[in-house]
Amino acid sequence: MESNSGEKMDYSAWSQENLIQRVTQLEAELKAQNRSLISTPPPVVKKSWKKPRNERVFDPSKYNTRLIALKLAYLGKRYNGFEHHSNQTTPLPTIEEELWKALNKARLIFPQGANPMSPGEVNWEGCEYSKCGRTDRGVSAFGQVIGIRVRSNRPLSKKKKGAVAEGAGEVEKGPAASEFNTLPRENAVEMASPALAPSRAKSEDLPSESLGLDGPDLEETLSFDPVGQEIPYPSLLNRLLPPDIRILAWCPAPPLDFSARFSCRERRYRYFFTQPAFVPTPNHLEHSSSSSPKVKDGWLDIAAMREAAKLFEGLHDFRNFCKIDAGKQISNFERRMFFADIEEVEDSTNGLGFVNGTEFVPSGSLEKVYPKIYTFTLHGSAFLWHQVRCMVSILFLVGQGLEKPSIVSELLDVEKNPRRPAYEMASDTPLVLWDCIFPREDDPERKDAMQWLHVGDGPAAGDAKYGTTGLMDDLWKVWRERKIDEMLAASLVDIVSRQGSRVEELEAGNGKKGSKSQKVFDGGNIPRLQGTYIPVMKKPMMDAVDVINEKYAVRKGFESAEDLKLQGFRRLGKSSAGETPLVEDADE
């Protein structure tokens, strides 16, 4: 088929198959020739006038450290709770993860082997870290407290520099392995307040008679201003944290025996809800029956809720108002509630005036200022897992007329009712850890003894609060975004409520499936439909506490719950019952 180069090809005798092959060959040769003629220009490299950044070797041993307390606030809707759990992947970040990244990036802590720009897994070892409350997913806090040892501007004592121990060789250059932590430095000086509980304080927590602060070597470190010359911790961290997590204050001198967890003697919660709780149905469109509650659909009986809330006050066993955490093997569920009430909160704008119409308000109501905002306000010594949300859930049932206030007393009577009924707990988002109180042990009024220095306090520090990029500026941005969303949603609801026929002209239909079901409010945006309501004490009962603990212990390979308490906690990598008081914790 092929002929010599330069000769004219005669295709007359070629078969169709050979002709197709020849055309395909010529097309491939032409494409290859075209590619060789097109030269690809070299990429243009932009000349940078910036000097390359050389990362300095950070030597933690050159810096002093100090123990401080931080008071922080966060909106919990975007987070998977406060506490980070090792080796557990969560769909949302935790508050602790964000704190960990910010503290490392600011180089306020020096965990061994961690890169400040990418610190990796949360590990508070060597930081003297403690936390007050462990809020669940979606729960917010406006007064959370942590204790942590951080880098300080206070100069190290000159005795430290160049000191060589007897029999030792040369001083090692760079950070020694033992110094790669945030622990107290040798011969260091730092502030502390008197112990909150001297009767329970360990001997090492109390000051010695001779402090040994004489000599010129300590002159520079003793003349240091522990506030004015110190790192502005809140402002620094607020620049690195997400906008919905803010440091509000810091305590330069925590008590000698301070622990954010065990020194806290009062935790305060607020659970927000609206009145009406959900959209009321016009009177002539309601599906009523003999079993319907006396309270109008959508509204709550605030007086009955107050009566029930007051029953929580005092020392009670709350095993029927919590979720049992078998991993802790808790057997003591007694907690003291100092205060419990339903309080009205002033709300300046709402835009939902239609609920004040005669067709929507309960009969006999004279007020025209709905919707209102209320909170269930609760102060207690400590709380069990999901305790507040279980308490609120029962109060909402009372408010809807589905249960009597006496249901609280029935559930608190654990001798008569040792097993918790399987009722649903309230929604998470409206709950806020409002404040954490650290009183002295001899103070009957439980006043906070922590010396908080809030953002903006101190000489020439006002810009940190009200200046550009200050704390209030940051919070305003967060508030305004949500406020605009609220105003737009309220305006839309108001417009739709006034469109079309008047309310009294609307006709009820046959009703879809579920329209006659009981609506049960749980704190969420819409009520749950439950068909025929089953009273709490007639619901299925969960296992008793000792049964739950026993099943957990056997599942973990122990003979019994008692065997787990005796030797199992060490085997599971937890504290033994004798080392850590497992019941004194805020697990809400």
Q: Which residues are catalytic?
A: 136
> Distance between CA 266 and CA 145 in Å, rounded?
12
Cα separation of the two ends of the chain: 88
User: Could you give the 3-state DSSP secondary structure of residue 454?
Assistant: strand
* Sign of the CA dihedral running 238, 243, 248, 250: negative
Residues whose CB is less than 8 angstroms from the CB of residue 493 and which lie 6 or more positions away in sequence, other chains included: 351, 352, 354
d(CA 472, CA 476): 6
Closest to 392 measured CA to CA, from 292, 455, 321, 336? 321
Nearest to 273 by CA among 310, 309, 324: 309
Cα separation of 554 and 567, whole Å? 14
299: nearest Cα among 364, 368, 360, 350: 360
**What is the torsion angle, in degrees rounded to the nearest 10, for the CA atoms of residue 126, residue 132, residue 137 and residue 140?**
-120
Calpha distance 7→157 (Å, rounded): 97
User: Are the C-beta atoms of 396 and 277 separated by less than 8 Å?
Assistant: yes
- Which secondary-structure segment (H or E) carries 144? strand 140-152
Tokens read off for 459: 């000489």
Rounded to the nearest 5°, which phi and psi values hold at 506? -70, 145
Cβ 234 vs Cβ 464: under 8 Å: yes
Gap between the Cα atoms of 116 and 163, Å rounded = 29
| Closest listed residue to residue 402, CA positions, set 494, 528, 246, 250 | 528
Give 184-231 as a 3 state SS string: CCCCCCCCCECCCCCCCCCHHHCCCCCCCCCCHHHHHHHCCCCCCCCC
Q: What are phi and psi of 541, to 5 degrees?
A: -95, 140
φ, ψ for residue 382, nearest 5 deg: -165, 165
Kindly report the length of the chain: 588
Q: Output b/e per residue, 501-524; b: 16+ Cβ within 10 A.
A: eebeeeeeeeeeeeeeebbbbbbe
